[in-house]
Structure 1
Amino acid sequence: MQATSSPSPLPALLLPAIAVICAVCALALGTSYAKQLFPVIGAQGTSALRVGMSALVLLILWRPWRWPISTIDLHAVVRYGLALGCMNLMFYMALRSIPFGVAVAIEFIGPLAVALYYSRRRLDYLWIALVVLGLALLLPIRSSAHSLDPVGVAWAFGAAAAWATYIIFGKRAGHLHAGQSVSLGLLAASFVVVPVGVVHAGAALLQPEILLFGLGVAIVSSAIPISLEMYALKRLPRETFGIMLSIEPVVAALAGLVFLHETLSSAQWLAILCIMLASIGSIASAHRARR
């Protein structure tokens, strides 16, 4: 008799779910510590150190040259990596003047816009309304003690646009082994970010303590989250994985509060929750529509 497949039991999903939560926390922790390098080497130098070290660690870990790659796929990976580099650089530039959690919330507009653009459901207008409400609460359209720096907001929107581009190019390289595409993508990203960091920070990047700190940031904010996410992606439904990643703005805001002493107003917390709920709702409703 042929066995019938059954849904994954809860215990089988528990470890992958914990892996996603740990990945989000590691990313928030690594970025919080990376921001402490800003007074020494600036946002540009910090981004260069993180991306360059991450590329080095993942190249050693995955050794992507073990798998053959066509010229077309290599071009797709390079475009994906260039978008990744722009996203990282602009996000770190945003962190100079706006809180961590707010920057992540604005950056989330990128993937959410891609999801909503390709959808044609009426329910999506609700998620768009939540995003508009969140942005209305966040953007510096009024002067108050908690108003945001317009330049930092502009950099965060640039990072959101780069994230959307990164998703589109990443799909074209999605058939490759994840270790190969991510490591080669980060190598391409380093060609965008590292020269900018070198021009800005110069020889300060070569100080042993800075290099060691950068290596720790790269491992915590890139190598560990990427490895945990790859583990979880193989064991969780894609929609569940996406919904769990939607907690990232809240985790970032909490990390900013604990490690960077960044306080947010009640309106900013409400804005972050609106954008997070829009992300969760968009993913969940798309899953129901496919079913």
Structure 2
Amino acid sequence: MVESLFHSPRRAAARIVQRMPPHVYFVVSAVFHYLGPALAVLLFARVEVLGVAWLRIATAAVVFAVWRRPWRLWPRLDRATRWLLTGWAAVLAVMNSVFYLAIDRLPLGTVAAIEFLPVIVLAAVAARTRRNVVALVAAVAGVYLLTDVRLVAEPLGIAFAAANAVLFALYIVLGHRVARSRQVSGIDGLALSMMIAAVIALPIGIGQAAPAFLDPVALAAAAGVGICSSVIPYVSDQLAMARLPRATYALMVSLLPATATVVGIIVLTQVPAVAEVIGVVLVVAGVALHQERETERAEPPDPT
């Protein structure tokens, strides 16, 4: 009886999660995907870039550890799933680090546009209708206008942004595999991977993160960045990925440069030019035009 009462709230929550349209989770992810980094840019004045990146990962790992206690699942996983989660953890650790190095040198909207370019290839692979092709062309044109890149001015920033773009595409591919895994739920897989990522990123960022442990304000701000950047959006990603085909999700990611531009205006006062505004409109049009095929719809597993 007591056990039944204990599990009832979780089952009720699971039902609510399942009934929520997957696109809602994507919108939440899109907002927090760049709100957290925008706050991180403001934090760079108190903590070095790689230190903020590690604190972001470590905070998320602590939250997931308390919430899901994922280490209990590790002994039950087969070798293939363990390698999948470890690979995803490595991607998370390096991707977050190079992303912060990029936004330290380039506007948030520019990094987001570069981040999007490899992702559109994932959508292009599965675009089998004329309408989807038009949607892809509109989205790519929008990203082109959003990408106001001057390679000579900031070559290192471009290199970091390009590396982040490749890793972000890998994040989506591996994230979908975790979301559809029969061995572990998407959120528990994310929790395990985030804990491993904190260990992998430790040598990269702990040196620069150390001073924050003597600065309570910086430490609290870094924890907030971690929750906004790596808990809310990544959990939302898993809930969306579990119920959206990879091609649909990949095209919806084209909203991220637009989201980053808006967040950049509000938080960092990075006001876009007219061409960039047109780019935002084209990206949104591409997402609106895209039509999910009935044959691509997947039966969602339980994401909780």
TM-score w.r.t. length of structure 1: 0.77
> Are the structure 2 counterparts of residues 189 and 277 from structure 1 closer, same or farther at C-alpha, using a change threshold of 3 Å?
farther
1:184 aligned to 185, 192, 196, which one? 192
Residue 134 of structure 1, CA deviation: 3.3
Pair 1:254-2:262 in alignment: yes
Partner residue of 2:170? 165
The one-character-per-residue Cα deviations of 1:40-97 (angstroms, maximum 9, x if unpaired) are 2222111111111111211221111333211221011111111122221121111012
Residue 153 of structure 1, CA deviation: 2.5
Partner residue of 1:25? 31
Partner residue of 2:158? 153
SS of aligned partner of 1:41: coil
Pair 1:57-2:63 in alignment: yes
Pair 1:46-2:52 in alignment: yes
Aligned-residue RMSD, C-alpha: 3.3
SS of aligned partner of 1:39: coil
Q: Number of residues paired by the alignment?
A: 272
Between stretches 95-104 and 148-157, larger displacement belongs to: 148-157
Q: Matches of 2:253 and 2:19 in 1, distance apart?
A: 15
Pair 1:215-2:223 in alignment: yes
Pair 1:263-2:271 in alignment: yes
Between stretches 44-53 and 208-217, larger displacement belongs to: 208-217
Residue 114 of structure 1, CA deviation: 2.2
Partner residue of 1:7? none
Q: Matches of 1:163 and 1:51 in 2, distance apart?
A: 16
Corresponding letter in the other structure for 1:257: I
Corresponding letter in the other structure for 2:230: S
> Are the structure 2 counterparts of residues 202 and 48 from structure 1 closer, same or farther at C-alpha, using a change threshold of 3 Å?
closer
Runs of 5+ unmatched residues, structure 2: 1-17, 298-304
- After TM superposition, the structure 1 = structure 2 runs for residues 1-291 of structure 1, keeping only pairs within 5 Å, are 17-67=23-73, 68-117=76-125, 119=127, 126=134, 127-128=136-137, 130-131=139-140, 134-135=143-144, 138-140=147-149, 149-173=154-178, 174-175=180-181, 176-199=184-207, 201=208, 203-207=210-214, 208-230=216-238, 238=245, 245-278=253-286, 281=289, 284-285=290-291, 287=293, 290=296
Same amino acid, percent of matched pairs: 25
Q: Matches of 2:281 and 2:238 in 1, distance apart?
A: 26
Runs of 5+ unmatched residues, structure 1: 1-11
Contact 1:113 1:164 in 2 (8 A): no
Corresponding letter in the other structure for 1:134: V
Contact 2:38 2:267 in 1 (8 A): yes
Q: Matches of 2:189 and 2:269 in 1, distance apart?
A: 36
